[in-house]
Amino acid sequence: MGRQPLRRRVDNLPQVTYFKPAGIPLAHLQETRLSIEEAEAIRLKDIEGLAQGDCAQKMSVSRPTFARILLSVRRKMADALLNGKAIRIEGGNYEMAVRRFRCDNGHEWEVPFEVMIKEPPELCPTCSTPDIMVLRPWKPGCGMGGRGRRLRGG
């Protein structure tokens, strides 16, 4: 069995995940895809203005890896901007800094990144039911209210 690729730690999910240049017919529109961790890299470096070492630490990657992610995302954005491509932000190999879970009996709890990548929860810690779901932290207003991706069970 191959080693699982290491997951990058992400604090924030982008609220808008699709950008499209004006005036290009859909049939001619090319698309560039950024992963969630690539978006996180420019958020930390270019929006928050952190040093590369701090960014790497926050994302739980080495400095050279962070530099590589940053270079890749900047190249993609330049390509999209100057060549008139749409940008889609989705997917990748990441885990949230904190995940919030809820069981079928209404108990909610939080699981930090360090635990999620080693031992993601399978049971509710309060009532031990396996019917648990992860609540989506993105989409404010409808995320924390109980809608979420069901992990297992009916």
Binding site for Zn ion (CB under 5 A): 103, 105, 107, 124, 126-127
**Nearest-10 Cα torsion for 63, 44, 58, 112:** -150
CB of 124 to Zn ion, least distance (A): 3
CB of 39 to Zn ion, least distance (A): 33
CB of 97 to Zn ion, least distance (A): 23
By beta-carbon proximity to Zn ion, the closer residue of 71 and 123 is 123
**Residue 80 and residue 86 in contact, taking contact as beta carbons nearer than 8 Å:** yes
By beta-carbon proximity to Zn ion, the closer residue of 106 and 112 is 106
CB of 57 to Zn ion, least distance (A): 34
Residue with tokens 């039911």: 129
Q: Side chain identity at 72, as an amino acid letter?
A: S
Residue with smallest beta-carbon separation from Zn ion: 124
By beta-carbon proximity to Zn ion, the closer residue of 80 and 103 is 103
Whole-number Å distance between alpha carbons of 50 and 58: 10
By beta-carbon proximity to Zn ion, the closer residue of 83 and 105 is 105
Q: Side chain identity at 112, as an amino acid letter?
A: P
Whole-number Å distance between alpha carbons of 90 and 92: 7
